[in-house]
Amino acid sequence: MPTPANDAPLEVACPQCSKRVAWSPESIFRPFCSKRCQLLDLGAWAEESHRISGESAMDEADLDTLLAQADKDAPLS
């Protein structure tokens, strides 16, 4: 297997603060630079500030229909 011309580890920008982070086993929070940035990003996902664009897989009406069907299909105990 050919060796890379540059032995320096790959560096990426922290998604939260843009600080450069070495992509190596020693960077335990990669791609984040720190636990703080990792938790800030997780919080943004939890409060739905970060979203994957596109349409919802289903709306509430579809969910209600599926739940009603599941109730009809459920065996009586």
Question: From the annotation, which residues make up the binding site for Zn(2+)?
Answer: 14, 17, 33, 37
Binding residues, by number, are 14, 17, 33, 37
Per-residue burial over 15-29, b if 16 or more Cβ lie within 10 Å, else e, is: bbeeeebeeeeebee
- Give the Cα separation of 19 and 75 in Å (integer): 56
